[in-house]
Each structure stands twice: as structure tokens, then as C-alpha cells.
Amino acid sequence: MRITFIDIDGVLNNAEYYKNKSLHSHHKETSHFDSNNVNALNRIVESTGAKIVISSAWKLLKTLDEIKNLFNDIGIKAEIIGATESLHYKDTFELAPRGLEILKWIRDHHKSLEGGLENYVIIDDEDDILDIQERHFFHIDDTIGLTDQNADAIIEFLNSYTIPKQELP
Ligand SMILES: [Mg+2]
């Protein structure tokens, strides 16, 4: 199975999009998604069969079912199979890097995925990932969000590389 760890803010929406939007429509949750970015994500999941895991902080504000319904309303065609757990440092309660949350998800779940974890990508406008995740990471420009160009590179990577079993945690 291929997995896409997806962020939302700065990836499925972007600064340009908000600039050109009238403020009164912001109360609608579906209005926080730019259809250009959504189409790019749909291309990825349609071309690779990748499933989605939510790594965005939206997981703190909504249940997984609420996010699934929202993605369905927006027209995102991906199957969401989970969300990363929020990790905090014990002493400071500061949030741990997102890469660590993703590593934990992989460690906890890869053995139960159908066909195992073949490959994954991390799509985010921030870069708090781990060194070992470097080649799986696609850094998104938050002024424009996920583009078709990003999608091309992500599709190429997801379809061309398989993680050697011994490298899985
Ligand atoms: Mg973000």
C-alpha cells in the first residue's frame, strides 16, 4: 500500500487563494479548500492508488469522521485511513516534530497494511521532518499550495520506488 501523509493549511489552501476570497464566505468549512490544490491531490490518488493519512493540525479540531465527510463534500476522491497521533515533549509539552508523529504512525501500522507499506510521501508546507524521511518529503509553497507540478513529481516517486522491507521500523 502507498500512503500520502497530507497537511491541509498551505497545501490544500494557500495565501493567494485567501487573498482573492471574500471574507464572508470563510465560515463555510468547504471554503478552506482551493479546487486547484484539491484537483492536484485527486490526480495523485488516482494515479497511484495511495491512501491518505491526515498529518495536519486539523486532526486536533475535528474527528476523523468529520474530516472524512468534509473531504467527501469537497470532492477529494481519496480514502482516508487514519491520522497521525499528536506527540508532545514530556517536560515542556511542546509539540514534537511532525516527522516523529509520522514515524510513529508507520511503526504502529505498516505491518497491518494490505501488501505492507510499499512507499509513502509527506506533503507539507512546513519542514519539521526527520532526516530518514528526506526523500519522501515534498515541500509545498504555501503561497500557492499543492500544484500540478508537485503532483507530477509525487506520482513519479510513489510509482517508481518501493521501500526495502528491512528499512521499515
Ligand atoms: Mg501547513
Q: Which tens digits make up the pLDDT trace of 107-159?
A: 999 999 999 999 999 999 999 999 999 999 999 999 999 999 999 999 999 99
Question: For 85-111, what is each residue's pLDDT tens digit?
Answer: 999 888 888 888 999 999 999 999 999
State residue 94's pLDDT score.
Answer: 87
List of residues 6+ apart from 56 with CB closer than 8 A: 6, 7, 8, 9, 11
Question: 165 C-alpha to center of ligand 1: Å?
Answer: 30
How far apart are the C-alpha atoms of 145 and 16, rounded to whole Å?
9
Residue 150 included in any domain: yes
How far apart are the C-alpha atoms of 122 and 124, rounded to whole Å?
6
Question: 66 C-alpha to center of ligand 1: Å?
Answer: 19
Question: 28 C-alpha to center of ligand 1: Å?
Answer: 19
> 28: domain range?
8-167
Question: 161 C-alpha to center of ligand 1: Å?
Answer: 26
Whether residue 25 has pLDDT greater than 70? no
Count of CB atoms situated within 10 Å of the CB of 94: 8
Residue 117 included in any domain: yes
* Rg, the chain, Cα only: 16
Residue 110 included in any domain: yes
Q: What is the pTM of this model?
A: 0.95
Where residue 118 sits, what CATH number does that domain have? 3.40.50
How far apart are the C-alpha atoms of 70 and 114, rounded to whole Å?
25
How far apart are the C-alpha atoms of 150 and 145, rounded to whole Å?
9
Question: 126 C-alpha to center of ligand 1: Å?
Answer: 6
Question: 20 C-alpha to center of ligand 1: Å?
Answer: 19
* Four-CA torsion 12, 18, 20, 25, nearest 10 degrees: 100
